[in-house]
Chains A and B, each alone.
Chain A
Amino acid sequence: MITVAVVDDDRMLLDGLRSWLAGVARLRLLAAVTTVDALLDGPGHGADVVLLDLVLRDASAPEDNVRRLRAAGSRVLVISTVADRARIVAAVAAGADGYLTKDHDLDSLVAAVETVAEGGTAHSPELAFAWAHDACPDRPRLAPRERQVLLDYASGLTLKATARRARISPNTAKYYLDQVKEKYRRAGRPAYTKTDLARRVREDGLDG
């Protein structure tokens, strides 16, 4: 039995997930709340896996959210409606163990939660695409093989087809993807560029 909690500020999605997960015997939903604070103060504290919406309306930074949830002993699977690539890369570098867009079906979601709960990484073409086309100047250096596997997986190929293309075993292909995550973890990255912050200020109406 895997305990799960959800942080998302879309009430409709929270209700949807609640009814979805109620039908899955292997998962138990502890809490479905709208902020990380609410999660850490409630029954969701320490859930095995937290589904975390990438961008919350309380203006919290995704990587801070990830770090606080990790500190509370949870693994984090990031979800979002739009694949905002710079933030996805930052959230995974900060300790999240995977990324999914919200339009996946229940089976893929459950599979990803199980992978993360076992200590693995829930890879997705969107995450691979974000890594493959990361233009951040301080991004880690990737080996040509890692880059090829990343690009092929990002293009939508299955892990098996990605591996066949690179003439390696699926396990090795998976290892390369995990390696990329490790490199980003080690590189750790500054949360936001100045433009991001400026945009944030504008969005929040803080500049009057």
Chain B
Amino acid sequence: MSGGSGLQRAQQFMILATGLYRASHLTVGVVSVARHTPGAPAAWGILATAVAVSLTLYGTARAGGWFGRRWVWCDVLVTGCALPWAAWWALGGPAVYQNGWLMLLGGSASSAAAVGLGIRGAAASAVLLLATSLAVHVVVAGSRSAELVGHLNAVLSSTVMAWVFWWYLRRQGALLDAAQSQAVTAEAARARQAERMAHHAALHDTVLATLTTIAAGRVDANAAPVRERCAREAAYLRRLVQQEDGAPQRPGVPAPGAAATAVGAALEAAVRSAECLGLRVAAQYHALPVVPREVAGALEAAVCEALNNVRTHAGTGEAFLTAAGGGDGALTVTVVDRGAGFDPAAADGSGGTGLRRSVHARMAAIGGAAGVESAPGEGTRVELRWPA
């Protein structure tokens, strides 16, 4: 009962609760058969049938996340309606007295039906179960009326109580989901705002400073270092425009309580630090998700690492960075160069082992994954995925 949405948790709880209810009835059955009719194979057979149907119903519900309608009906019809008659036929009247273990099963069948079949199915199965009890009472000699009333009351209240619990939990679950999604949206907006502030600060320190200096006539605008700086800052502006232009950033799946942050600013920081060291980076972004802060931090460090590797080992002045969000809040980042590359199979440690180890470790720490591919003369490709 740890994960999932509020609705899923409500469903998991109802499966557990009605399952325990059924388990308590089956326990009574085992004790009763062992005590009163331990030598009757038919009694054990009927008990085994009830256990098998219960296991199927709750096994499929657990595996699939919710009750399968046909298994609920199967339980109502077999356990609740057919088994009493089978027991009466095989074992005689006392086996199906209204307070016996077999009739008890009708109560747990009605509770599963109340949550698993919707209101009409629940009503229909309650009527079926009550009619079965009544018919059994009429047919079986020696069945006492007081016990019948008690049993009918138990079936009815099981239905109503299970339905009310389910209704309440489902409503709470929906409210919880709505609140959660609102919180995620607010967090995403806050992260966007923070990213915008980071961009403004960066614009102030770079483009604005450069333009102001040139406008003041203090430097030769055509000097090589100034032109390099302009090219770098033009590239930064280009990426900035592209990021704003792309699809809106969608909230990813921030862990509860973890501060979320837009990943674009973190990647930009890595790109700018590589550019300051003279590497040209062609970066393209698409639908970047909002991620927990430590994920953004680890991605920034891993991208830095990969870009550093291009700068020091690839023998090329250019690297390519792409980052694209998937629909489900997942993110794939690649750092690629068209440089010297290396032989990944080289045993002497030159085969990019250091790079592989460092990006792997960083990504593994945040539940992500990394891949490094290369071939001599064909450049290197580093892929970072989050989540793994």
Q: Which residues of A contact B (CB under 8 A)?
A: 81-85, 101, 103, 125-126, 129, 133, 135, 154-158, 160-161, 164-165
| B373-A165 in contact (CB<8A) | yes
Per-residue interface assignment for chain B, residues 273 to 294, with 1 indicating a CB less than 8 Å from any chain A CB and 0 otherwise: 0000000001010110000000
| B322-A84 in contact (CB<8A) | no
The 5 closest A-B pairs by CB, nearest first: A156-B320, A156-B336, A133-B286, A155-B334, A161-B378
Q: Which of B35-43, B67-75, B140-148, B231-239 contacts A (4 or more CB under 8 A)?
A: B231-239
Pick the contact of A156 from B324, B334, B378 — CB < 8 Å?
Answer: B334
Most-contacted residue by chain B among A126, A155, A165 (CB, 10 A): A155
C-alpha gap A160/B373 in the complex (Å)? 14
Contact residues in B for A83 (Cβ distance below 8 Å): 238, 242, 284
B241 lies within 8 A of chain A by Cβ: yes
| B242-A156 in contact (CB<8A) | no
Q: Which residues of B contact A (CB under 8 A)?
A: 231, 234-235, 238, 241-242, 245-247, 282, 284, 286-287, 319-322, 324, 334, 336-338, 373, 375, 378-379, 381
C-alpha gap A160/B246 in the complex (Å)? 29
The distance from the CB of A131 to the nearest CB of chain B, in whole angstroms, is: 12
Closest to A83 in B: B242
The distance from the CB of A34 to the nearest CB of chain B, in whole angstroms, is: 21
The distance from the CB of A81 to the nearest CB of chain B, in whole angstroms, is: 7
| A158-B324 in contact (CB<8A) | no
Contact residues in A for B284 (Cβ distance below 8 Å): 83, 125-126, 129, 154
Q: Decide: A161 near B238, CB < 8 A? Known: A129-B322, A135-B247, A156-B337.
A: no
Closest to A135 in B: B247
C-alpha gap A158/B373 in the complex (Å)? 13
Most-contacted residue by chain A among B234, B284, B338, B375 (CB, 10 A): B284
Closest to B318 in A: A156
Contact residues in B for A129 (Cβ distance below 8 Å): 284, 286, 322
Given contacts A125-B284, A161-B381, A165-B373, 14 further A-B contacts (CB under 8 A): A81-B238, A82-B241, A84-B245, A103-B231, A129-B286, A133-B287, A133-B324, A135-B287, A155-B381, A157-B379, A157-B381, A158-B338, A161-B338, A161-B378
Contact residues in A for B324 (Cβ distance below 8 Å): 133
C-alpha gap A156/B245 in the complex (Å)? 21
- Can you name 17 A-B pairs with beta carbons within 8 Å? A82-B242, A83-B238, A101-B282, A103-B231, A125-B320, A126-B282, A126-B284, A129-B284, A129-B286, A135-B287, A156-B322, A156-B334, A156-B337, A157-B379, A158-B378, A161-B379, A164-B375
Contact residues in B for A135 (Cβ distance below 8 Å): 247, 287
Contact residues in B for A125 (Cβ distance below 8 Å): 282, 284, 320
| A103-B322 in contact (CB<8A) | no
Most-contacted residue by chain A among B247, B320, B322, B375 (CB, 10 A): B322
The distance from the CB of A19 to the nearest CB of chain B, in whole angstroms, is: 14
C-alpha gap A45/B363 in the complex (Å)? 55
C-alpha gap A94/B97 in the complex (Å)? 82
C-alpha gap A85/B245 in the complex (Å)? 9
| B282-A160 in contact (CB<8A) | no
| A156-B287 in contact (CB<8A) | no
Contact residues in B for A161 (Cβ distance below 8 Å): 338, 375, 378-379, 381
